[in-house]
Structure 1
Amino acid sequence: MDTEKIQVVKSSGEKADFSISKLRSSLYHSGADEQTVTTIINKVRDELYQGISTKEIYNRAFALLKKRKSIYAAKYKLKKAIYELGPTGFPFEKFIGALLTYSGYEVKTGKILQGKCVSHEVDVIAIKKEQHIVAECKFHSEKTTTCNVKVPLYIHSRYQDILAQYKNTKARPTEGWVVTNTRFTTDAITYGHCMGLYLLSWDYPKENGLKDRIDRLGLYPITVSTLMTKREKQFLLSRNIVLCRQLADDTFYLDHLGISEIRKKKILSEVEMLCNT
């Protein structure tokens, strides 16, 4: 089959040409070896048909990776795992806070800061030496939702009110951040740059987006696990365990899930491999 003529349907409903290079890149990103990547590409290519959904391609590649090695599948589902943090957005704030904590910052989440005009609930406050970050996290549960210019517009006005209150004090923030699990529109990026906001999304800034930071630091959310059930993940999230590293550092929480020792060992093995890659 000539894959260059195959069109796939994206989650937004849009059609696009199937790209073997994109599939290959995502498979390599999982850490899979050359032979595994080639085998999966060949199998997926043989099962393509006109109008196949990108979700179906993802599910097939995921299943093949999981069969080969669970850690490959766990890394492959990273983007989906971020969405699985939950519709409230609260675990996402905790996740961003945990990322910054393991990056050497002193972090507080969900704190109230008084502005010059009104008070503001700040999702994440992170301090390291002279750097003082106040970050707003915008979580979207739908893959097709982008973070448009209204978001940095609104956050910039809040940031300015906070700066005005702390003018000429040591507690004055030095950076305002906007963090999202999806993507920023072009206007949002342009406005953010113009107003001096730091924007962090799934793939922005280039080579330093969420995806890159997570891989570089080995700070994967517990939702990447291919061995735990949704209920088990939600139990851990409800207790502010959002990173695999947190679970590896304190296995106490697994004891409350009522799982067998054999399964517990398998889960911890997967978690430790993710933390050490």
Structure 2
Amino acid sequence: MSTKKNLYIIKASGEKVKFSMDKVAASLKKAGTEDSLIHTVLQKLKNELYDGITTREVYNRAFNILKEKNSYSASRYKLKRAIYELGPTGFPFEKFIGAIFRHTGFSIQIGKIMQGKCVKHEVDVVATNHKETFIMECKFHSDPGKFCDVKTPLYIHSRFTDIFNFSHEKDPAHPAFNEGWVVTNTRFSHDAIQYSKCIGLNLLSWDLPKGNALKDRIDHTGLYPITVSTLLTQREKQFLLSRDVVLCKELTEDNFYLDHLDISGERKARILLEMKELCHFKKPLK
């Protein structure tokens, strides 16, 4: 088959763009896949492509090829999709974000009620250390083509301002928080980024800020969600999520809930080995 120089694919947003095999290789490389295995995946993948294929289908085909060769690499490669699998309520995503900040020395509260000047507000994540307090609103989307547009930071900023105004009037020397954050598993629009910079609102998404984005933080901490597993079934993942078990690390430290999945000892051992391998795979932040 040809090298597909003029092949076009359809992104999740519906945009039609020229296909790049280099981008597929780069995503495999970022997942820690060895060069020889990347070459094998690309060689097989190029024979399965066609004009108008979706990015989702490209991913699925690359993932299935990789899974046959190396399940651990396949688990890391599916990280972005695994985040989407934390839905649909969004609460596991909030717990997941809290875990990442807890790893960096913060104490965490999920779903805290905070008083504003006008009304009370439920804040998704409150992260506090000895110097500062962050309050965070988490916007989870199950649709990879959905962006957070400027309405999101506009709305969240008004809530944070109400909380700040109340605490400042009560005790000007000790405001309720130092920084406000908006966190999403997808991306922010250009206007959302520009507005947030203007008002001093921190944004954290899959690819923002560059070098310290959500993906970078996960790779750095080894805090992978259980949904990356290639060995757990969808039913088993939902069972664990419903019991607030979100991280692979949580299962390696306490596999109590695995005992309730009615699985064999051999399969349980394989799952725990997979979880430990994923937790040990860490990359330094740039």
**Percent identity at matched positions?**
56
Tell me, which stretches of 5 or more residues in structure 1 are unaligned? none
Q: Which runs of 4+ in 1 moved over 3 A?
A: none
Residue type of the alignment partner of 1:272: K
Secondary structure in 1 matching 2:5:
helix
Post-superposition Cα deviations, 1:105-164, rounded to whole Å, max 9, x if no partner, equal 100000100011110000000001111000000011111110000000011111111111
CA contact (8 A) 2:164 2:175 kept: no
The equivalent of 1:112 in structure 2 is 113
**1:229 equivalent among 225, 229, 233:** 233
* Residues 221-260 of structure 1 mapped to structure 2, 5 A cutoff: 221-260=225-264
- Structure 1 CA distance for aligned equivalents of residues 64 and 13 of structure 2: 23
Q: Which amino acid aligns with 2:230?
A: T
* CA contact 2:13–2:146 (8 Å) conserved in 1: no
Length-normalised TM-score, structure 2: 0.94
Q: Cα offset for 1:25? A: 0.4
Deviation at 1:11, TM superposition (A): 2.4
Q: CA deviation at 1:7?
A: 1.0
Written as runs of structure 1 = structure 2, the 5 A alignment for 1:112-151 is 112-151=113-152
Q: Which residue of the partner structure matches residue 284 of structure 2? A: none
Number of paired residues? 277
Please, which runs of 5 or more residues in structure 2 have no aligned partner?
282-286
Residue 264 of structure 2 corresponds to residue 263 of structure 1: no
Instruction: Indicate whether 1:76 and 2:81 are aligned.
Output: no
Aligned residue in 2 for 1:166? 167
Question: What aligned pairs does 1:23-102 form with structure 2 within 5 A after superposition?
Answer: 23-102=24-103
How far, CA to CA, are the matches of 2:204 and 2:279 in structure 1?
Answer: 22
> Aligned-pair RMSD on alpha carbons?
1.1
Query: How far apart, in 2, do the equivalents of 1:72 and 1:194 lie?
Result: 40
1:55 aligned counterpart, secondary structure: helix
Deviation at 1:59, TM superposition (A): 1.1
1-structure distance, mates of 2:136, 2:37: 40
Residue 48 of structure 1 deviates from its aligned partner by 1.8
Aligned mates of 1:237, 1:143 — CA distance in 2: 21
After TM superposition, the score normalised by the length of structure 1 is: 0.97
Q: 1:20 corresponds to which letter in structure 2?
A: M
Deviation at 1:43, TM superposition (A): 1.1
- Of 53-62 and 207-216, the range deviating more from structure 2: 53-62
Q: Distance in 1 between matches of 2:173 and 2:257?
A: 41
